[in-house]
Amino acid sequence: MSGFVHSEKPIRLERGEGVHLYGEDGTQYLDCGASYACTPLGHSHPSVTEAAREQLERLTFVQASYPVEARERANAALEAAAPEGLENVWLCNSGTEANEAALKFARSATGRSKIVATMQGFHGRTMGALATTWNSEYRDPYEPLIGDVEFVAYGDSEALADAVDDETAALILEPIQGEGGINRPPEGYLAAARERTERAGAALVLDEVQTGMGRTGKLWACGHDGVTPDVLTTAKGLANGLPAGTALCADWVADDHGSHNATFSGGPVVSAAIDATLSTLVEEDVPTHAAEVGDYLERELRAAVGDDVREIRGMGLMVGIEVKRGANRVLRDLALEHDILALPAGRSVVRLLPPLVMNREDADRIVEALVAVCGGDS
């Protein structure tokens, strides 16, 4: 995880505003992690704060069997934002829960049990989602998990075609792998996944927990490829920092048993925050802004950084910088010497997931700091 923050130098944060976080000692940090992409609109965004506060004061919580306006608005906003055909909105509280729902719905709709997942993929840490997560450090201590999961090499369409068969309930994968190192698959991979699952009668589940909500320059990363899954899951940035997740489902895979549920799903306060986040994101066309600033950042990085950088990859404001001397050392120097907070993705990749409202000057500051830490010329 963010190793150095916990182990070597605790940075105590007190306040956040836009792209900045402020320490108790007054230090201003540029947030390039957005705490794992959870604040796409920046910290303490006024419209989300106001919507949540107003709802908190009016009606904090009531069980989901009573219709309330806030939930209806969140559902409507998600329906409008969903890829065409995925208008069945199932609300929950986190990414792993959204994926649990997707896997259960796929099993129930197909009557099959096998799940195909990808190497280096990450889908969460509850028992079901964990079984589809690749990293054995996360899995091994908790075995046995749910059975019947087959892993295939990410980006390999032929391996996919072999693994997905008429016993497969679901294929689950990320459009761009986040935790696994910001890995972009070759062109045509999502289309191949779509075609293969359709032919096999299996559900295609795209995990957009990290890539969703505008991160890659479109609201959903699958939009770049013109591919629509059967279930799209998202969470992290969905309520700009409040705990929320959703599974957007096609008709055939939308659960009709109604036996999968969670008490807090679609609670009024979180629903108000989802509505405010999504409305702001769409009305202000934040994804397009993220695409522009992301392109600029990647171009400037490529032009400037030196020998210590092996590769730069990503899309929009989801950027991975593979470094030779170990991600945690680079992250420590960025934080302690340049007041820039970022994330690792594995041992060798520095991951940038800033709030999407970041501007070019912020991007320049990142490039300058990375050049100072990794060599190169600014």
Q: Give residues in contact with ligand PLP (CB under 6 A).
A: 94-96, 99, 122-124, 174, 178-179, 207, 209-210, 235-236
- At 189 the three-state DSSP class reads helix
How buried is 177 (Cβ within 10 angstroms: 0-12 exposed, 13-18 middle, 19+ buried)?
buried
Whether the Cβ atoms of residue 313 and residue 2 lie closer than 8 Å to each other: no
Complex with ligand PLP: residue 233 or 374, whichever CB lies closer: 233
Shortest CB 361 distance to ligand PLP, Å: 28
- Identify the DSSP state of 169: E
Complex with ligand PLP: residue 174 or 298, whichever CB lies closer: 174
Structure tokens at 41: 């609109």
Complex with ligand PLP: residue 123 or 194, whichever CB lies closer: 123
Complex with ligand PLP: residue 93 or 328, whichever CB lies closer: 93
CB nearest ligand PLP: which residue? Answer: 95
Shortest CB 87 distance to ligand PLP, Å: 22
Residues counted in the chain: 378
How buried is 84 (Cβ within 10 angstroms: 0-12 exposed, 13-18 middle, 19+ buried)?
exposed
Complex with ligand PLP: residue 121 or 376, whichever CB lies closer: 121
Q: Cα separation of 126 and 96, whole Å?
A: 6
Complex with ligand PLP: residue 160 or 172, whichever CB lies closer: 172
- At 364 the three-state DSSP class reads helix
- The DSSP line for 271-319 is HHHHHHHHHHHHHTTHHHHHHHHHHHHHHHHHHHB-TTEEEEEEETTEE
284 contacts: CB under 8 Å, gap ≥ 6: none
Structure tokens at 39: 């604040």
- Helix ranges (H only) for 32-114 are 34-37, 46-58, 69-81, 95-110
Complex with ligand PLP: residue 342 or 373, whichever CB lies closer: 342
Shortest CB 254 distance to ligand PLP, Å: 21
Angle, CA of 298, 302 and 303, to the nearest 5°:
120
Complex with ligand PLP: residue 123 or 196, whichever CB lies closer: 123
Shortest CB 239 distance to ligand PLP, Å: 11
Shortest CB 143 distance to ligand PLP, Å: 20
Long-range CB pairs of 320-323 (<8 Å, 24+ gap) are: 320/181, 320/182, 320/183, 320/345, 320/349, 320/350, 320/351, 320/352, 321/349, 321/350, 321/351, 321/352, 321/370, 321/374, 322/181, 322/348, 322/349, 322/350, 323/348, 323/349, 323/350, 323/374
Shortest CB 303 distance to ligand PLP, Å: 29
- The DSSP line for 123-140 is --SSHHHHHT---HHHHG
Q: Strand 340-341 vs strand 28-31: parallel, antiparallel, or unpaired?
A: parallel
Shortest CB 70 distance to ligand PLP, Å: 21
Q: Cα separation of 106 and 316, whole Å?
A: 30
Shortest CB 108 distance to ligand PLP, Å: 21
Complex with ligand PLP: residue 31 or 207, whichever CB lies closer: 207
Complex with ligand PLP: residue 94 or 157, whichever CB lies closer: 94
Shortest CB 365 distance to ligand PLP, Å: 25
Shortest CB 235 distance to ligand PLP, Å: 5
